[in-house]
Amino acid sequence: MSTGPVDDRSGDRSRRRPDPADRPARPLRPVRRGRYPLSLRRNTVDWERQRPTWREARPALIADALKRAQARPSGNWYVVGATSDVRDDRPLARTIAGQEVVVWRDATGQLVAGPGICPHLGAPLRDSPVRCGTLVCHWHGLGLPGTSFAGWEPLPAHDDGVLVWVRLDDVGGEVPLEAPVVPVRPALAGAVSAVYVGVGTCEPEDVVANRLDPWHGAWFHPYSFVDLTVVSATAAAQGRDEPSPRETGAADESAPTDEDGFTVDVSFKVAGRLVVPVRAVFTAPEPRTVLMRITRGEGAGSVVETHATPLGADEHGRPRTAVVEAVVAASDRPGFAVARRMTPLLRPLMRAAASRLWRDDLAYAERRWQLRSNGRFPG
């Protein structure tokens, strides 16, 4: 009997094929920007054949990241909506944690905010017009220029150039901050920005937990993401790739010094096999915000900010949360100047892309809340 090596090429063909879940994550080449913004995928993989990520997406890891986010200060600031939605003729209205809030610009152009209930007989100020900087109640003509009047008190408001915020100290219950925790963004003069707003039956923590689970990207959103690998999920995730505000000279004293995050290599699908490979870092600078910043590849420095604003309960007592997502994209490629000039045309497309993603992600967040509410959430 031979004791040499066994040639099993003609062996049992019915042996089980290797489970993709048993394969370790394949190290990727560092993401570098190429000569052209688009790349061609050379080795495509069917959706069901991609490497499962469920082992890496440990519930305890996501829960711990969420817990750390919730421990950071917000200063009681809540996102109301997009700066571009504050018009000259009517207020921007939002119900935040059950409180009606209206935001508009006074006669000097300054942003003002206050309760959305008329101090006279309770008219809904969301339906009232703005005339020459004064909010005029449509029931009896009471005018509110944005200063204290008859028990109506203005609320602290902030316009960061993309989003408008309001501070509700009696809702947040934290030590107030003079300004909200706004992440460092590309200079707006050289960027293209768009804001998406959606509403789901869930709480802010469910939205934040969704964004702190980057592993679901290529599985749950195959129409947008492919070749996703979470490279790092530690407190030092942004260390090498994302310079601190101090290094860039940007003023962001409110940014947490212990900010942790997830570093992800992923390709955005464009059409067919055309993709845009990038490295991105996900962080949570405050309890209701998750920031994705591209740190390598095309559009380095661009950000996607996801803000979760609690609205209050619906008629069935279920919580409702608004997702306000701001995309601020920038590039130093010469052709990007053309894109900036096309901003009015690009914004609807950017909002449509975000809307498609959030149809899925709000379903994720709503499912998470539903299971949490009846004690069946496995995480």
Mean pLDDT, all residues of the chain: 88
Q: Which residue has the tokens 């290797």?
A: 18
Question: Binning pLDDT at 50, 70 and 90, where does residue 41 land?
Answer: confident
Say if CB 280 and CB 264 are below 8 A apart.
yes
Q: What beta strand segments (E) does the chain contain?
A: 39-40, 77-82, 92-96, 99-105, 111-115, 130-131, 134-136, 143-144, 157-159, 163-167, 191-200, 225-232, 261-271, 274-286, 289-297, 303-313, 319-330
Q: What number of other Cβ atoms are within 10 A of residue 95's Cβ?
A: 16
What is the domain-level CATH number for residue 342?
3.30.530.20
Question: How much is the pLDDT for 368?
Answer: 99
Percent of the chain with pLDDT over 70: 84
Same domain flag for 45 and 107? no
Same-domain status, 205 and 59 = yes
Asked if 59 and 81 sit in the same domain, the reply is no
Same domain, 106 and 249: no
Query: How many domains does the chain divide into?
Result: 2
Q: What is the pLDDT of residues 215-225, one digit of tens each?
A: 999 999 999 99
In the predicted model, is pLDDT for residue 256 greater than 60?
Answer: no
- Domain of 138: which CATH number? 2.102.10.10
Q: Looking at residues 264-276, what average pLDDT do you find?
A: 91
Q: Which of 109, 112, 138, 111 is nearest to 126 (CA)?
A: 138
For 93, residues 6+ apart whose C-beta sits below 8 A from its C-beta are 100, 101, 102, 103, 116, 125, 126
What is the pLDDT, as a whole number, of residue 272? Answer: 84
- Same domain for 141 and 214, yes or no, is no
Whether 259 and 154 share a structural domain: no
Query: Which strands form 130-131's sheet, in the order they lie side by side?
Result: 130-131, 134-136, 143-144
The reported pLDDT for the residue numbered 207 is 99
Q: What does the pLDDT read at residue 189? A: 95
pLDDT at position 234 is 67
Residue 210 C-beta-side C-alpha neighbours within 13 Å: 27
- 303-360 tens-digit pLDDT: 999 999 999 999 999 999 999 999 999 998 888 999 899 999 999 999 999 999 999 9
Q: State pTM to two decimals.
A: 0.85
